[in-house]
Amino acid sequence: MKKRDYLSIDCIDEGVIKAERNKARSLRKTRWWQQKTASGTCYYCGREVGYANLTMDHIIPLARGGRSTRDNLVPCCKECNTRKKGSLTVEWEEYLQSLDRTHKGSREE
């Protein structure tokens, strides 16, 4: 049986989420995370906000079955992390595209 990088929605409880958050805290202290955040660039919006203004985000949120693994964690600005909340990346990208369309439409008027 192949190990999954996500959890089944049926088994997600506060204990599991707490354990995954603890794993994420541990990963923040690693050289791997220091290298990921060295540029100070947000994974989602691409803005350079500086190392101190980056947060750790789960691409697949813990509440949606994600885990605290290196392939599921990205540095992002506080603004994107707050707005993304429990969204999947595809949902977040659709939201950003809708904002872009809205902004383009208002500039053309």
Structural domains of the chain in order of their starting residue, each with its CATH number = 9-108 (1.10.30.50)
Q: In sequence order, what DSSP letters do the residues of the chain get, joined into one string?
A: -PPPSS--GGG--HHHHHHHHHHHHHHHTSHHHHHHHTT-B-TTT--B--GGGEEEEESS-GGGT----GGGEEEEEHHHHHHHTT--HHHHHHHHHHHHHHHHHHHH-
Question: Using one digit for the tens of pLDDT, what is the confidence trace for 10-23?
Answer: 557 889 999 999 99
pTM of the model: 0.76
Question: Using one digit for the tens of pLDDT, what is the confidence trace for 3-60?
Answer: 555 544 555 788 999 999 999 999 999 999 999 999 999 998 899 999 999 999 999 9
